[in-house]
Amino acid sequence: MILNAANLSILNQSFSAAFQIGLGGAQPMWGQIATLVPSATAEQKYAWLGKFTKFREWIGERQYQNLAQHDYAVKNKTWENTVTVTRDEIEDDHYGIYKPVIQQLGQDAAEHPDELVFSLLKAAFTTPCYDGQYFFDTDHPVGPPGKQVSVSNFQGGSGTAWYLFDTSKVLKPLIYQKRRDYAFQSKTNLSDENVFKQNEFVWGADGRGNVGLGLWQLGYGSKETLSTTSYADARAAHQSLVGDNGKPLAIRSTELWVPPSLEQEALEVVQAERLANGATNVMRNLSKVVVCPWLI
């Protein structure tokens, strides 16, 4: 290739198209358990987390439900992924072999929120959420000030973690906070410093955002052996949660999330018609099994 402005512009357009193909062809999983929150500042505060209210019959004046505010905040971070190709490779018409690399860069950009969301989920047993307790914990404070009791959304155990989630609500258990979309950029002008000093062309993508823990009530974690009994117990406990006002949250344990190593156990618990002893599996099809490779 003759390296001039016109040819480099065509090359950049081709690479940009490859990036968009990779970006659009990905199938990220984060949207199933994380609420997308657009952000316009360096830090987003979520004082409204935990504010569960209920309708009442309007008799007399309105009753203002002033529930406790929280100081949970998520700071945005900037993320980048950059590749270099020598000027010689482009000059010798080898640029075609790099289009899959650029396409992969686009796919990586689309799936990067997955990496963030599920890394936080795995750490949620030891990471505080809005109420100051670990997201999966045995002593979340629930109730009006002065009358709080400890409530658990962690079954216990020390094995491989599995999770029940209520994904039927508008809000999801986790938060993906987006400040700026992932964008593709290039530094291929012959006068660019990277070309002059390193004899390299540069292509990269960057975006800005972060993840946070949302409503712990929408998730129930366990490290017990996944069985019909442990699943039934976890489901009953999860769906029995109430708000600070003492009223049911109407939790539905719609999905059972597992790593690939627990796929067989999960399918046996939720999809098998009969148990090992021949009895009818009354837990069948009560939750959707989601196998997530990010949870290994």
pLDDT tens digits along 96-119: 889 999 999 999 999 999 999 999
Res 226: pLDDT: 98
pTM of the model: 0.90
The CA-atom distances, in angstroms, between 50 and each of 13, 130, 164, 231 are 47, 8, 19, 26
What is the average per-residue pLDDT within 263-277? 95
Residues near 218 by Cβ (< 8 Å), separated by ≥ 6?
165, 166, 167, 169, 171, 172, 173, 251
| Averaged confidence pLDDT in the chain | 93
pLDDT higher than 60, residue 87 = yes
pLDDT tens digits along 19-29: 999 999 999 99
Residue among 18, 181, 29, 182 at smallest CA distance from 104? 18
* 288-291 and 174-187 strand pairing: unpaired
Rounded Cα distance, 49 and 47, in Å: 6
* 162-165 and 219-223 strand pairing: antiparallel
Per-residue pLDDT band for 153 (boundaries 50, 70, 90) equals very high
Q: Which residues pair with 82 in a beta bridge?
A: 204
What is the average per-residue pLDDT within 274-278? 91
In one-letter notation, the amino acid at residue 178 is: K
